[in-house]
Amino acid sequence: MIVPRRLLLTVLGILMFFTLVTVGAAQLEQAIAHQFDIVIPQWVNVAVALSIAAVKTLFVMAIFMQLRWDNPFNSLIMVFTVFTLCFFLGFIMIDLGNRDSIYPYKSKYIVEGGSGNITVAGGSVPAGTSIAMQARIWAMEKADNILIKEKGTLPKYLVIFCSQEIERQLAAKKTEAEFPPVLKEFMKVRNQAPYAEILAAASHGHGKGHSAGGNTANRSRSRTGLTDPELGGKPADGHGHSGSAGQAEKPATAGEPKAGEHK
């Protein structure tokens, strides 16, 4: 079977259209949530994205890969493959979504973001420090190096980091006098170019609901299972979570206090 060129071009057009639809749907969803201040559960996002991807896949397989005219056994292979994948994913989700009872046992070994005691290319992470926290310590050193020792200009992501770090330190009830030198230095320059523009842009783009404290860990998983209406679809500001059994066991949020301690 020779697929006519026109048909191939039509399918290409359809694929492009659906690609734009999937981007548009994601944007629209965000806009709606923002506009009407509602929370759209996460499964909507997943379901829409996966359905569109599945439709696109059907077109590619049926026309581009010529399954429509092919030996039906080849289609059967793919059907079995998808079944296998569904079993694989489904049963594991059933298990991991229903593990409240063992979480308390597991949680005492958990330092959020990893417990450290490993050596990597960039240096070693001491025991008891998470990789995520270590990232902030390293960033502080890096900013210190650039701003104070080299008198250079911070890259964008470090500007945002310093600004957020100041808020975190304030939230941890530190006075400005207790700040590490690099933050004191940063406070002096943050209203000048180019930092002011970067911060303005960042607060514009990132503003909605993301508190600088980095305490979205509050919204971490609830281990109550697939039927939990809140699964995944937490409000962006993280309030009003019904405390589940697992939730009560969680250590304090990693964000605020520790950043100060390590300095």
Partner 1 sequence: MASITDTKVGSHGHDHHHDESFLTPKSTMWATIIDWATTVDHKKIGLMYLVTILFMFLLGGLAALAVRLELLEPTRTVQTMLADGSVKTVIEGQLFTVAGAANVADSNNLYNKIFTLHGLIMVFLVIVPSVPASLGNFFIPLMLGAKDVAFPRLNLASWYIYLIGSFFAIASALVGGVDTGWTFYTPYSTMTDEGHWKVVFMILSAFILGFSSILTGLNFIVTVHKLRAPGMGWFDMPLFIWGMYGTSLIQVLATPVIGITLLLLVFERLFHIGIFDPRMGGDPVLFQHFFWFYSHPVVYVMILPGMAIMSELIAVFCRKKVFGYRAVAFSSLAIAAIAFVVWGHHMFTAQGEVASAIFSALTFLVALPSAVKVFNWIATLYKGSISLKTPMWYALGFLFLFSIGGLTGLFLGTLSVDLHLHDTYFVVAHFHYVMMGGTIIAFVGGLHMWWPKMFGKMYNEFWGQIGFWLVFLGFNLTFFPQFIMGVHGMPRRYASYVDEFTIYHQLSTYGSWMLLAGFLVHLFNFIYSLAAGPKAPPNPWGGLSLEWTDADSPPTTHNFSHDPIVTHGPYDFDDVVPPQTKPGEFPLPAPLPAGARAH
Partner 2 sequence: MASIPADKHGTGSVENLPPHETYRHAEHFRNAADEFDAAKMGVWLFLATEVLLFSGLFVFYGVMRMLHPEAFIHGSSLLDWRWGLFNTIVLLLSSFTVADAVRCAQSGDQKGLKRNIVLTFILGTAFLLIKFIFEYAPKYAEGKLPGAFFSYPNWESPYEPLWWGLYWGATGIHASHVVVGMGLFIWLYIRAKKGHFGPKHYTAVEGVGLYWHIVDIVWIFLFPMLYLIH
Contact footprint for partner 1 (CB under 8 A)? 73, 80-81, 84, 87-88, 91-92, 94-96, 98-99, 101-102, 106, 109-115, 118, 120, 130-131
Contact 32, 223 (CB under 8 A): no
Nearer to partner 2, 99 or 188 (CB): 99
Amino acid at 113: G
Nearer to partner 2, 165 or 174 (CB): 165
Does residue 52 belong to the site contacting partner 2 (CB under 8 A)? yes
Cβ neighbours, 10 Å, residue 129: 21
Quote the CA–CA distance of 233 and 79 in Å, as a whole number.
31
Contacts with 244 (C-beta within 8 Å, 6 or more apart), sequence order: 100, 222, 223, 224
Does residue 50 belong to the site contacting partner 2 (CB under 8 A)? yes
**For residue 213, what is the DSSP state?**
T
Binds 94: which of partner 2, partner 1, none (CB < 5-8 Å by kind):
partner 1
Quote the CA–CA distance of 15 and 246 in Å, as a whole number.
43
Q: Which of 68, 69, 70, 197 binds partner 2 (CB under 8 A)?
A: 70
Nearer to partner 2, 119 or 177 (CB): 119
Nearer to partner 1, 100 or 185 (CB): 100
Question: 3-state class of 118 per DSSP?
Answer: strand
Binds 170: which of partner 1, partner 2, none (CB < 5-8 Å by kind):
none
Binds 21: which of partner 1, partner 2, none (CB < 5-8 Å by kind):
none
Does residue 248 belong to the site contacting partner 2 (CB under 8 A)? no
- Tell me how far CA of residue 155 lies from CA of 80, 139, 147, in angstroms: 50, 11, 10
Does residue 130 belong to the site contacting partner 2 (CB under 8 A)? yes
Quote the CA–CA distance of 100 and 234 in Å, as a whole number.
19
- The count of chain residues that interact with partner 2, using the rule CB under 8 A, is 87
